[in-house]
Amino acid sequence: MSIDVLLIGAGGREHALAWKLRQSPELGRLFAAPGNPGIAELCEIAALDVADSGAVSRFCRENRIALVVVGPEVPLVAGLADRLRADGIAVFGPDAEAARLEGSKGFTKDLCTLRNIPTARYERFRDAEAALDYVRREGAPIVVKADGLAAGKGVTVAATLAEAEAAIESCFEGLQPGEGEIVVEECLEGPEASLFCLCDGERALPFGTAEDHKRAFDGDQGPNTGGMGAYSPSALLTPDLLDRVLREIVQPTLDGMRERGAPFRGVLYAGLMLTAAGPKLIEYNVRFGDPEAQVLMMRLRSDLLPILQAAASGSLENVAPEWDERPAVTVVLASRGYPGASQRSPIARLPDTGEGEMLFHAGTARGTEGALLAVGGRVLNATAIGADVEEARDRAYAIAEAVDWTNGFFRRDIAHRAIG
C-alpha cells in the first residue's frame, strides 16, 4: 500500500526532504505546505495555513495522510505535532514540550545541569541591568543568546565587553521589564561539529554529521546567519567521539525528556564544541539543519520514508540507514543585504544539474507572469557530491557560478576547514 505524505515547510531543507521522499517506492501522493517553486516540481502544493493546526488536521483526515513531516521549528514549538497526534495522525516531529529543547535555550541549559550533560557555564537573565553587571564581572570573550527562536541568528559571540553590552541591550530593546530572557555563557574553545540523531522517544539513531559556516562572509567574518554552506560528513566526529557524544549528551537528554513526560520523537540536531576537556553541547535544534539537510539527503542511500515512519511510530530499533561514503558540499546563494534586510529580485536563469548534483530552492517564489523571484535572505542551495571534499566543493561552486542572478552573493570558502 502506498503512503500519502504531507510535508510542512517552504525552505531549502524542505526541498531536500521532498526530493528524497519523492525517490521512495513506497510513496503515494506527496503534498507540501506552503512549499516553494522547487518543491512544487516534486509534489502538489496544498493551500494551507500551517499556523492553523486545526486546518492542517482536517486536510490530513480528508486526504488520508499517513504521515506528516514537519520541517521548520516554529510550528513544532507552537504545538502542531500535539494536535496531529491527538487526532490520530502520525507525525515526524516533537510535541511542543519536547520542542522546548530548541524553543528555549534556558530550558535546555537547565536540563543539562539536571542531567550532568557537559555544556558551557551559564546564567539566565530577564533583566538587562543584571545581565550587564554579570558580563562586566566576567569579561570577554563571552556569549549572549536570546532565549527563544531566532532563526539561527540570535547568538552573539562577543569578543569585547562592548559587543556583549550591545548584544544584551539589543535583546531587551523595546521590551517591558520581565518580557525578555537571555542566556549568557562562557565562550568555549575548539572546533565545532553537528550531529543528527533520529529519536523515537527512547532511543537515538545517529543520522549523519556535518560542519556548517554561520558567518556571512569569507574567512568566517561578518554577522551570524542561518548558515551559508555546509559539508558532510565531519571528519572531527570519529567513531569513539561519536559514541561519547551519544552516551554523555544525547541519551541523557532523551532520558530527561521522557522522565518529564515529553518523550522526544523526531530529529535532534546537536551543535557541539569539541573542547580540550571533551565534547560539549552548544545548543539543540529539533529539526534537520538548513543547509545541513541538503548534504545529508544527498548522501543518504536508504529510503527516507520508512525511516521517518519508524521514528514517528517509536520503532527505530531495527533501522540501519545506509550512507554514501563520499562527501557532499552545499553552497548557499543569498540576497545582498542578508542577514539584514533584502529586496525581492528576479532570477534570470538556473543551470541544469547532473547526477549527484541539485540546486535546492530556499527563498524563491513565482511572479505574476511566472518569473522566478528571490524573496528571502537565503535563496538557493547549490549542492553536490564528490569523490572527496574538494571535488564536491568544486562541483557545488560550478552550479552556484552558473546561476544568473545579479542580486545574489555567496561565500567562496565553504569547506575550507576540510580542505585547508
Confidence (pLDDT) at 154: 74
Mean pLDDT, the chain, whole residue set: 95
CA dist 358 and 388 (Å) reads 17
CB 362 within 8 A of CB 403: no
Domain presence at residue 233: yes
Domain presence at residue 108: no
pLDDT tens-digit series, residues 94-117: 999 999 999 999 999 999 999 999
Confidence (pLDDT) at 180: 84
* Same-domain check for residues 195 and 179: no
Confidence (pLDDT) at 145: 92
Residue 32: exposure state from Cβ atoms within 10 A (0-12, 13-18, ≥19) = buried
Domain presence at residue 106: no
CA dist 245 and 117 (Å) reads 10
Domain presence at residue 111: no
CA dist 12 and 238 (Å) reads 28
Q: Count CA within 13 A, CB hemisphere, residue 252.
A: 19
Confidence (pLDDT) at 156: 87
* Same-domain check for residues 217 and 311: yes
What's the average model confidence in pLDDT over 231-256? 97
CATH of the domain at 172: 3.30.1490.20
The pLDDT-based confidence of 155 (bands split at 50, 70, 90) is: confident
Threshold 0.85, pTM exceeds: yes
Does position 153 have pLDDT exceeding 60, yes or no? Answer: no
Does position 292 have pLDDT exceeding 70, yes or no? Answer: yes
pLDDT tens-digit series, residues 387-405: 999 999 999 999 999 999 9
What's the average model confidence in pLDDT over 340-349? 94
Contacts of 227 (CB under 8 A, 6+ apart): 152, 212, 213, 214, 289, 290, 291, 292, 332, 378
CB 160 within 8 A of CB 142: no
Contacts of 391 (CB under 8 A, 6+ apart): none
* Same-domain check for residues 207 and 311: yes
CATH of the domain at 290: 3.30.470.20
Domain presence at residue 113: no
CB 70 within 8 A of CB 91: yes
Q: What are the helix and strand counts (H, E) for the chain?
A: 15, 23
* Same-domain check for residues 173 and 238: no
Q: Structurally, how many domains does the chain consist of?
A: 4
Nearest Cα to Cα of residue 102 among 149, 168, 139: 149
Confidence (pLDDT) at 151: 53
Domain of residue 406: give its range.
Answer: 328-419
DSSP code per residue over 350-367: -----TTEEEEESSEEE-
* Least confident window among 60-64, 221-225, 350-354, 355-359: 221-225
CA-based radius of gyration for the chain: 21
pLDDT tens-digit series, residues 197-237: 999 999 999 999 999 999 999 999 998 899 999 999 999 99
* Same-domain check for residues 200 and 294: yes
* Same-domain check for residues 361 and 303: no
Q: Count CA within 13 A, CB hemisphere, residue 132.
A: 12
Residue 139: exposure state from Cβ atoms within 10 A (0-12, 13-18, ≥19) = exposed
Residue 146 gets which letter from DSSP? Answer: E
Confidence (pLDDT) at 7: 98
CB 59 within 8 A of CB 65: yes
